[in-house]
Structure 1
Amino acid sequence: MHWYQTIFEFIDMRSFSNLWFWIALAVMWSMASHYVLGVPFDMLQRARKHGGQAQVDLEMMVQINVARLLHIAQVSGLWIAGIVGFMLSMLVGLGFIYGIEFAQAVFCLAAPMTLVGLISLRTARIIATTECNGETLDRRLNWHRKTVQAVGMLSLLATSMWGMWQNMQIGALG
């Protein structure tokens, strides 16, 4: 037996039984819930606790990120929507119709993050149109973070259930 066959037997290269997939999934959701509209959560906590310059810094950073998100949506939103729609449709076809496990795994990563992107865009539009600042901004960012965490929990549940199902199916066949 060759050394690469030994490695591939030791490290299962299928997506849902691969440790690296689960690490990437955990890191992705950890980062998504830590960065609220691109602003680190510790900055929000510091502004809430200390106020003053920390609150001014938070409001400026949120304003910059909101303007950035809205500009991207205005300039290339239609193209992004078309490309993301095509990619998700392709992943559904390859993964769930043709049974390619890698496409299923990428779909389990990409689809919920697409939803998070839409939620972020909606929150950015609300912040831009209502001139949120101070306590109102803190509540809006907190709501956004909790929504992203809820999407993450449901996504982790669905992905782990689907991954276990796939692993049991492969185990039953092999």
Structure 2
Amino acid sequence: MDWYSTVFELIDMRSFSNLWFWIALAVVWSTASHWVLGVPFDMVGRARRKGGQAAEDLTDLLRIYTSRLLYIADEAGLWVIASGAFFLTGFAVLGWVYWVEIAQALFLLAFPMSLVSLLSVHTARALHEKDHDLEAVYKRLGRHRLMVQGIGMVSIFITAMWGMYMNLSVGALGG
């Protein structure tokens, strides 16, 4: 047996048994949780604690990112939703009708992130429609982050359960 086949025997290259998939899942959710509407959440905490220039920087950055997000949603929102629905439906059909494991993995990554995207547009619109005092902005961003973390926890749990099921069922079938 040569070195190449030994390595690929030890490292299964399917989606749910691949270490890179789980690293990507962790990176996606930690990034989504840290960057709230394009603003790093540590900046929100610093603005809340220190005020002054940190609060001005936060409001400027938040205004820029919410305006950008709302512009994209208003100008191309229908196309983004249509293409997202197309790809999600394709992944779902390939994954659970034809049992393509990579399509299942991509669906389990993309579907919850689409919910986060919709939540981000909703939060950006709520912040943009009326003027808020800083304390209300901090609370809204905190609630948004908490909801993203909740979606992430449920998503990671479901993905882990499905991944374990797939790994055990493939292992039980003999490969």
Q: Quick check: TM above 0.5?
A: yes
Instruction: Quote the offset at 1:6 in angstroms.
Output: 2.0
Instruction: Quote the offset at 1:3 in angstroms.
Output: 3.3
User: Which consecutive residues of structure 1, in runs of 5 or more, have no partner in the other structure?
Assistant: none
In 2: Cα distance, 1:61 partner to 1:157 partner: 33
- 1:120 equivalent to 2:120? Answer yes
Paired residues of 1:92 and 1:104 also in contact (CA < 8 A): yes
Paired residues of 1:12 and 1:18 also in contact (CA < 8 A): yes
Instruction: Quote the offset at 1:130 in angstroms.
Output: 2.0
Question: What residue in structure 2 maps to residue 141 of structure 1?
Answer: 141
In 2: Cα distance, 1:85 partner to 1:135 partner: 36
Question: What residue in structure 2 maps to residue 162 of structure 1?
Answer: 162
Question: What residue in structure 2 maps to residue 43 of structure 1?
Answer: 43
**After TM superposition, which residue ranges in structure 1, 4 or more long, deviate above 2 angstroms?**
1-4
Question: What residue in structure 2 maps to residue 17 of structure 1?
Answer: 17
Instruction: Quote the offset at 1:141 in angstroms.
Output: 0.3
In 1: Cα distance, 2:37 partner to 2:130 partner: 16
Which deviations, in whole Å up to 9, do the C-alpha atoms of 1:113-165 show, x marking residues without a partner?
Answer: 00000000000000011222410100000000000000000000100000011
Which deviations, in whole Å up to 9, do the C-alpha atoms of 1:69-102 show, x marking residues without a partner?
Answer: 0000111111111100000000000001100101
| TM value normalised by structure 2 | 0.97
Q: Which residue identity does 1:113 align to in structure 2?
A: M
Question: What residue in structure 2 maps to residue 110 of structure 1?
Answer: 110
| TM value normalised by structure 1 | 0.98
Question: What residue in structure 2 maps to residue 8 of structure 1?
Answer: 8
Q: How many residues align?
A: 174
In 2: Cα distance, 1:162 partner to 1:54 partner: 43
Paired residues of 1:95 and 1:104 also in contact (CA < 8 A): yes
In 1: Cα distance, 2:8 partner to 2:123 partner: 45
Q: Which residue identity does 1:11 align to in structure 2?
A: I
Any idea what SS the aligned residue of 2:68 has? helix
Instruction: Quote the offset at 1:7 in angstroms.
Output: 2.2
Q: What is the RMSD of the two structures over their aligned residues, measured on CA atoms?
A: 0.8
User: Which consecutive residues of structure 2, in runs of 5 or more, have no partner in the other structure?
Assistant: none
In 2: Cα distance, 1:133 partner to 1:11 partner: 53
In 2: Cα distance, 1:152 partner to 1:15 partner: 19
Instruction: Quote the offset at 1:171 in angstroms.
Output: 1.1
- 1:65 equivalent to 2:65? Answer yes
Question: What residue in structure 1 maps to residue 90 of structure 2?
Answer: 90
Query: How high is the sequence identity, in percent, across the aligned residues?
Result: 55
Q: Which residue identity does 2:113 align to in structure 1?
A: M
